[in-house]
């Protein structure tokens, strides 16, 4: 397993601004993922972030809106750019460990855009 922390835990932001969310894991991992969970909904995968390469985005998500950094094997950031109220969600990071792809999730960042 892995212990994952996220910062901030929550924030309220003005529309048009950007917020960077940090994800820190207590061990080196190759695969990190970013998800969004809109109110009352299930999780949606935004992108996969591998160290040393560009993030791979899922359909409907673009780098200009959700730039991701992965500078080393224990850390990643997700930026939500030019925010609108529709970006109000919980953003979660996860890491993959083990040979059969099990993932462990951070506690999430609750973002409210006004």
Partner 1 sequence: DAKTTQPNSMESNEEEPVHLPCNHSTISGTDYIHWYRQLPSQGPEYVIHGLTSNVNNRMASLAIAEDRKSSTLILHRATLRDAAVYYCIRNRGKLIFGQGTELSVKP
Question: Least Å distance between CB 81 and partner 1?
Answer: 23
Q: Token digits for 75?
A: 């850390």
Bridge partners for 113 per DSSP = 13
CB within 8 Å of 12: residues ≥ 6 apart: 112, 113, 114
**Interface residues with partner 1 (CB under 8 A)?**
1, 33, 35, 42-45, 48, 92, 94, 100-108
**Which CB atom, from 76 or from 94, has the smaller least distance to partner 1?**
94
Q: Characterize the bridge pairing of strands 56-57 and 109-113.
A: unpaired
Question: Least Å distance between CB 4 and partner 1?
Answer: 8
Question: Least Å distance between CB 1 and partner 1?
Answer: 8
């Amino acid at each position: 397993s892995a212990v994952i922390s996220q910062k901030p835990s929550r924030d309220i932001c003005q529309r048009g601004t950007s917020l960077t969310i940090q994800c820190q894991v207590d061990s080196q991992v190759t695969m990190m993922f970013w998800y969004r969970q809109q109110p009352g909904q299930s999780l949606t995968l935004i992108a996969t972030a591998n160290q040393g390469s560009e993030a791979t985005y899922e359909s409907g998500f673009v780098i200009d809106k959700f730039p991701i950094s992965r500078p080393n094997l224990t850390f990643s950031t997700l930026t939500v750019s030019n925010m609108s109220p529709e970006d109000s969600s919980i953003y979660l990071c996860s890491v993959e460990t083990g040979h059969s792809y099990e993932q462990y999730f951070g506690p999430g960042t609750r973002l409210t855009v006004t």
